[in-house]
Structure 1
Amino acid sequence: MAERAQYVTLGVADELFAAPVEKVQEILDMRPIARLPQAPDTLLGMIDVRGQGIPVVDLRLTLGLPSAPDNENTRIIVLTLAGQNGDLRLGLRADRVFEVTILDEDDLDPPPAVGGAWSGHCIAGLGRRNGRFVTVLDLERLLGEVETITQAA
């Protein structure tokens, strides 16, 4: 039997999202973030992780949701993504992190084709966990613009 894909489930507002566990390096408590001048709203700034500067993106703002203050559940998920010039390490600010889990079924449903301006380009697919929909993020697409931004900074 093949191993089932594992995901880190995270919450943003009232929604449940998932990131493939193999892309997650570590999960950090919220910490001070050094702001970058003239950076887009979604790019919160930089954090130091063991001597390496890691850009941090606000998942709420990236998904078009209103910003929210940090609280005791806010986390930074440090990811390693395949970038155009090799691996890119990136922090993702989420309201909370739940667990590492498998989804109820291995196959993801494709994003709905609703047309118009919404393309679902940042969604790898929809899964289910305990009867709730889980939106599995296509992290490379969702955060691809960050690579361009941080290289220009």
Structure 2
Amino acid sequence: MIGPQVLTLQIDSDLFALPVARVQEILDLAPFLKVPHWPTHLLGVIDVRGTGVAVVDLRLLLGLAPKPDDAATRLVVLRLDTPRGPLGIALKTERVLEVTELDGPKQDPLPETGMADGVSRFVAGLGRRDGKLVAMLDLDGMFDAETLDQAQGAKAA
């Protein structure tokens, strides 16, 4: 049985996936306006078709060390549904692979590790593609209220 359609991303050697239905578009990395006093993972604001969209560094959001941008770096513009209405956020990621389907409809939960609950808020579950593990990013859980408030402010700009 075929699983959900996803956009796969690569960070280092790890595979991540986002639901295709939440992806608006994929852009080449473009200059962005840096906003003072924003958290480190919020890089700034870009203009996407006349709307200010906050740029979030996925590596930094996940707690990974920064990495220099290269020709494969992309911005994945996502649509989030928030209590204040729809919101666009651009995830900066080092490599976009493909739109594909997971090997099956079943997602496994993350194994219990005894780590703080905050670690698991980024991953909704584990799927498989061609036998390799793929971490399904939890778009509804990965952005805290402060990030959403600041991103909402970028939209108004």
- Please, what TM-score do these two structures have when normalized by structure 2? 0.90
Tell me the amino acid that sits aligned with residue 125 of structure 1: G
Tell me the amino acid that sits aligned with residue 74 of structure 1: T
> Structure 1 regions of 5+ residues with no counterpart?
none
Output one character per residue of 1:53-111: Cα deviation in whole Å (capped at 9) or x when no partner: 10010000000000111100000000001111111111000001000000111110011
1:134 alignment partner in structure 2: 134
Aligned residue-pair number: 152
Secondary structure of the corresponding residue to residue 143 of structure 2: helix
Secondary structure of the corresponding residue to residue 46 of structure 1: strand
1:8 alignment partner in structure 2: 7
Tell me the amino acid that sits aligned with residue 148 of structure 1: D
Tell me the amino acid that sits aligned with residue 122 of structure 1: F
Distance in 2, matches of 1:89 and 1:150, equals 8
Q: How does 1:46-57 map to 2 (within 5 A)?
A: 46-57=45-56
Identity %: 47
Runs of 4+ in 1 over 6 A off after TM superposition: none
Taking only aligned residues, the RMSD between alpha carbons, in angstroms, comes to: 1.7
2:121 alignment partner in structure 1: 121
Tell me the amino acid that sits aligned with residue 24 of structure 1: V
Residue 96 of structure 2 corresponds to residue 81 of structure 1:
no
Q: Is the 8 A contact 1:83 1:144 kept in 2?
A: no
Q: Is the 8 A contact 2:53 2:151 kept in 1?
A: no
> Structure 2 regions of 5+ residues with no counterpart?
none
Tell me the amino acid that sits aligned with residue 32 of structure 2: I
Distance in 1, matches of 2:144 and 2:82, equals 8
- CA distance 1:151–1:81, shift in 2 (3 Å): closer
